[in-house]
């Protein structure tokens, strides 16, 4: 698949590195000529502007800080036709006014009915390695378009997660709250980033 990852920080680079053996991945950045972009190109990443990356992709992954989401989404043309995987978390930046979640704001601003929320509920170390011994971590996925969810689920499996369908995009606020809880436990309650939630079933 052609995948654009917008934002090349901890998460964007990790997702890109894990997907690029099987997909055509391009990182969409603010400055493709910057030192950081040159270093990423040296690691084998395709780099482009945000618009250039989005134009070339059927799946656009948002991996920018929550504070940048509105300007990125509103400033990028053609997103209405794309599957958008929203990995962002409104933690220090609040959920935009008038919305229950960042993902629903992304759907409204982009005009896309294929927005999926996932890969946001846990830390970068867990995205890097979603295994705790024999236990495989889940990635909960919500969205209103079945094809978009199933493509996100396949990408989640490639990262090493067990995908779990968590319903429609109106559940995105639950997944964003899970991220807040994870951050609270990891960084404010002293448990550290090597922790994870797991859905148990019997
Ligand atoms: N870190 C985690 O454990 C984790 C886990 C799950 C979800 N998330 C969420 O994932 C998102 C990214 O987190 P991160 O840890 O990867 O952050 P990060 O390391 O700070 O990276 C953010 C990236 O976004 C880029 N960016 C900022 N504004 C941009 C814009 N207007 N256009 C294009 N790119 C822009 C930055 O580029 P510059 O270098 O140009 O500033 C940077 O490369 C956040 O919303 C976060 O809440 C994070």
CATH number at residue 69: 3.40.50.720
Establish whether residue 120 lines the binding site of ligand 1, counting it when its CB lies within 6 angstroms of any ligand atom.
Answer: yes
Range of the domain at 72: 2-188
Distance CA 109, CA 112 (A): 8
Q: Is the CB of 62 under 6 A from ligand 1?
A: no
Q: How far is the CA of 154 from the centre of ligand 1 (A)?
A: 23
Q: Note whether residue 196 is domain-resident.
A: no
The atom number, within ligand 1, closest to the CA of 28 reads 33
Q: Which atom of ligand 1 is nearest to the CA of 193?
A: 3
The answer to whether 173 touches 179, Cβ cutoff 8 Å, is: no
Distance 12 CA to ligand 1 centre (A): 7
For residue 76, what pLDDT is reported? 98
Q: Return per-residue pLDDT of the chain as tens, 202 residues.
A: 999 999 999 999 999 999 999 999 999 999 999 999 999 999 999 999 999 999 999 999 999 999 999 999 999 999 999 999 999 999 999 999 999 999 999 999 999 999 999 999 999 999 999 999 999 999 999 999 999 999 999 999 999 999 999 999 999 999 999 999 999 999 999 999 999 999 999 9
pLDDT of residue 158: 98
Atom of ligand 1 nearest to the CA of 10: 16
Burial code (b: 16+ CB inside 10 Å, e: under 16) for 105-144 equals bbbebbebebbbbbbbbbbebbbeebeeeeeebbbbbbbe
Please tell me if the CB atom of residue 123 comes closer than 6 angstroms to any atom of ligand 1: yes
pTM strictly above 0.95: yes
195: in domain: no
Instruction: Judge residue 53's burial from the number of C-beta atoms within 10 Å of its C-beta, 0-12 exposed, 13-18 middle, 19 or more buried.
Output: buried
Q: Is 142 among the domain residues? A: yes
Domain membership flag for residue 198: no
**Nearest atom within ligand 1 for CA of residue 64:** 24
Give the atom of ligand 1 at the shortest distance from the alpha carbon of 124: 3
Residue 65 CA to ligand 1 centre (angstroms): 4
Q: Is residue 15 part of a domain?
A: yes
**193 inside domain:** no
The answer to the question of residue 194 being in a domain is no
pLDDT of residue 105: 98
- Give yes or no for residue 7 CB within 6 A of ligand 1: yes
Q: Total domain count for the chain? A: 1
> Which residues on neighbouring strands pair with residue 143, listed in sequence order?
116
Check residue 122 and give its pLDDT: 98
CB of 178 within 6 A of ligand 1: the answer is no
Q: Which pair of tokens denotes residue 124?
A: 């970068």
Does residue 86 belong to any structural domain of this protein?
yes
Q: Ligand 1: does its nearest atom lie under 6 Å from the Cβ of 106?
A: no
């Amino acid at each position: 698949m052609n995948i654009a990852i917008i934002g090349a920080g901890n998460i964007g680079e990790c997702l890109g590195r894990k997907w690029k053996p099987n997909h055509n991945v391009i990182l969409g950045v603010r400055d493709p000529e910057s030192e950081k972009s040159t270093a990423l190109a040296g690691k084998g990443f395709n780099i482009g502007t945000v618009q250039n990356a989005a134009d070339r992709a059927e799946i656009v992954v948002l991996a920018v800080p929550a504070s940048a989401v509105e300007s990125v989404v509103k400033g990028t043309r053609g997103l209405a036709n794309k599957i958008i995987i929203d990995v962002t978390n409104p933690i220090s930046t609040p959920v935009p006014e008038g919305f229950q979640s960042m993902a629903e704001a992304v759907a409204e601003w982009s005009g896309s009915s294929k927005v999926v929320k996932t890969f946001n509920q846990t830390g970068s170390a867990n995205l890097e390695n979603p295994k705790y011994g024999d236990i495989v971590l889940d990635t909960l996925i919500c969205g209103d378009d079945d094809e978009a969810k199933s493509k996100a689920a396949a990408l989640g499996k490639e990262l090493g997660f067990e995908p779990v369908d968590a319903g429609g995009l109106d559940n995105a606020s639950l997944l964003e709250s899970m991220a807040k809880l994870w951050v609270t436990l990891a960084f404010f309650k002293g448990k550290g980033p090597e922790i994870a939630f797991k859905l148990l079933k019997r």
